[in-house]
Amino acid sequence: MTNIQYQWFALQVRTRHEHGVATHLDGIGYELFLPLYKCRKRWSDRIKEASVPLFPGYLFCRFDPLDRLPILKTPGVIKIVGYDRQPIPVDETEISSLQRLGTSGMPNRPWPFLEVGDPVKIESGPLRGLEGKIVEFKGTHRLILSVTLLQRSVAVEIDSAFVESLRSSSASRYQEKTYGQARSLQLVVQE
């Protein structure tokens, strides 16, 4: 038997059923990725930190798209994300970026999907090598990792010192304008 590496696909599942679907599919041998983040939840008598899905109602699974019936029959699965009833694979680099973020230990949270700004590359730290875009944002600097197919993004705090402009002609002018005035930035990764 050959060990074939299938592509990642996004599964839309019933909200708050992500863990149960992941457990079921993992139990029958599928490779899964359920990105989580830590948030504080208020209960009637206390505040508790919980790990919750980064993309509520979605998880990622590797499988043969020609043999998808076991996935679709899984309790809690609504559909495989795609177009015209055909599953569309998620870009491998987007999944890899999210997995690196998860293992980096850096605080992160869901973020609106964004597509604007100047191109940059992260030059140091645990996210080194990731490329993205900068947009102006009040507060702290953020790196945004996006899953284009789902039009969902996740934000992680990052220091602007880790960023180098990918625009050679405007790099020095950009750094003067941005860092010289100590403006707040948000980093958006477009894979």
CATH number, domain containing residue 83? 3.30.70.940
Query: Tens digits of per-residue pLDDT, 117-133?
Result: 556 777 777 878 877 66
Range 156-172 average pLDDT: 58
Q: Cα–Cα distance between 141 and 156 in angstroms, integer?
A: 8
Please indicate, yes or no, whether residues 131 and 175 belong to a single structural domain of this protein.
yes
If one counts the domains in the chain, the total is: 2
Note down the domain range covering 151.
95-189
Cβ proximity of 28 and 22 under 8 Å: no
Relative to beta strand 142-147, strand 185-189 is: parallel
With CA atoms as reference, report the closest residue to 11 among 66, 65, 63, 79.
79
pLDDT per residue as tens digits for the range 25-38: 999 999 999 999 98
- Domain match, 85 and 119 both: no
Question: Do 120 and 134 form a contact (C-beta atoms < 8 A)?
Answer: yes
pLDDT of residue 158: 67
Q: What does the pLDDT read at residue 95?
A: 95
Give the total residue count for the chain.
191
Give CA–CA dist 41/18, Å, rounded. Answer: 18
Q: Report the pLDDT value the prediction gives residue 18, as an integer from 0 to 100.
A: 97
Rounded distance between C-alpha atoms, residue 128 and residue 143, angstroms: 12
As a whole-number percent, the residues of the chain with pLDDT over 70 amount to: 67
63 lies in the same domain as 15: yes
Residues 6+ apart with CB under 8 A from 88: 9, 81, 82, 149
Q: Are residues 146 and 100 in the same domain?
A: yes
Question: What pLDDT was estimated at residue 147?
Answer: 76
Which amino acid is located at 1 in the chain? M
Tokens standing for residue 150: 């789902």
Does 3 fall in a domain? no
pLDDT in tens, 46-102: 888 888 999 999 999 999 999 999 999 999 999 999 999 899 999 999 999 999 999
